[in-house]
Structure 1
Amino acid sequence: MTTTDLHRLTGAYALHALSDTENTAFERHLAGCEACAQETAELSATAARMGLAVATTPPAGLREQVLRRITTVRQETPGRPAQALAARPGPRTRRLSRWALAACLAAATALGGTALWQHQEAEDARAQARRAARTTDGIAAVLAAPDARTRATALAGGATATVVVSRGQDRAVFVVSGMTSPPGGKVYQLWFDEDGTMRPAGLMDPARSDQAVLLRGSVDGASGMGITVEPDGGSKEPTSAPVAVMTFPS
Structure 2
Amino acid sequence: MTNRADLHTLTGAYATDSLDDAERAQFEEHIGQCPACAQEVRELSATAARLGLAAAVVPRPALKEQVLRSIATVRQEAPRTEPGPPGGTVPRAPLRRASRWALAACLAAATAFGATAVWQHREAGDARDQAREVQQRTEELASLLAAPDARTRTAKLAGGARATVVVSEGRDRAAFLATGMAEPPRGKVYQLWFNDKGTMRSAGLMDPERTTSALVMKGRVGEATGMGVTVEPAGGSPEPTTKPVALLDFPA
| TM-score, normalising length: structure 2 | 0.52
Q: Which of 172, 175, 191 matches 2:174?
A: 172
Q: CA RMSD, aligned part only?
A: 2.7
Matched, 1:47 2:52: yes
Following superposition, which runs of at least 4 residues in structure 1 exceed 2 angstroms of deviation? Answer: 43-46, 124-131
Residues in 2 aligned to 1:171 and 1:219: alpha-carbon distance in whole angstroms: 5
Residues in 1 aligned to 2:53 and 2:140: alpha-carbon distance in whole angstroms: 13
Residues in 2 aligned to 1:135 and 1:188: alpha-carbon distance in whole angstroms: 18
Map of 1:155 onto structure 2: 157
How far is 1:214 from its partner? 1.0
Unaligned runs of 5+ in 2: 1-47, 57-102, 109-122
Alignment check: 8 A CA contact 1:195 1:222 kept: yes
| Compared CA separation, residues 222 and 145, structure 1 to 2 (3 A) | same
Alignment check: 8 A CA contact 1:161 1:176 kept: yes
Q: Which of 192, 201, 204 matches 1:202?
A: 204
SS in 1 for 2:231: strand
Alignment check: 8 A CA contact 2:191 2:204 kept: yes
| Compared CA separation, residues 205 and 199, structure 1 to 2 (3 A) | same
How far is 1:44 from its partner? 7.4
User: What is the identity, as a one-letter code, of the residue corresponding to 1:207?
Assistant: E
User: What is the identity, as a one-letter code, of the residue corresponding to 1:248?
Assistant: F
| Compared CA separation, residues 222 and 161, structure 1 to 2 (3 A) | same
User: What is the identity, as a one-letter code, of the residue corresponding to 2:191?
Assistant: Q
Map of 1:182 onto structure 2: 184
Number of residues of Structure 1 aligned to a counterpart in Structure 2: 145
Q: Name the larger-Rg structure.
A: 1
How far is 1:162 from its partner? 0.5
Unaligned runs of 5+ in 1: 1-42, 58-117
How far is 1:170 from its partner? 1.2
User: What is the identity, as a one-letter code, of the residue corresponding to 1:146?
Assistant: P
| TM-score, normalising length: structure 1 | 0.53
Q: Which of 179, 202, 224 matches 2:226?
A: 224
User: What is the identity, as a one-letter code, of the residue corresponding to 1:193?
Assistant: N
Alignment check: 8 A CA contact 2:190 2:208 kept: yes
How far is 1:131 from its partner? 2.2
SS in 2 for 1:147: coil
| Compared CA separation, residues 44 and 179, structure 1 to 2 (3 A) | farther
Alignment check: 8 A CA contact 1:44 1:177 kept: no
How far is 1:48 from its partner? 5.2
Alignment check: 8 A CA contact 2:105 2:138 kept: no
Deviations 1:169-223 (A, max 9, x none): 1111111111111111100000011011111101111111111021011111111
SS in 2 for 1:216: coil
Identity of aligned residues (%): 56
How far is 1:45 from its partner? 3.7
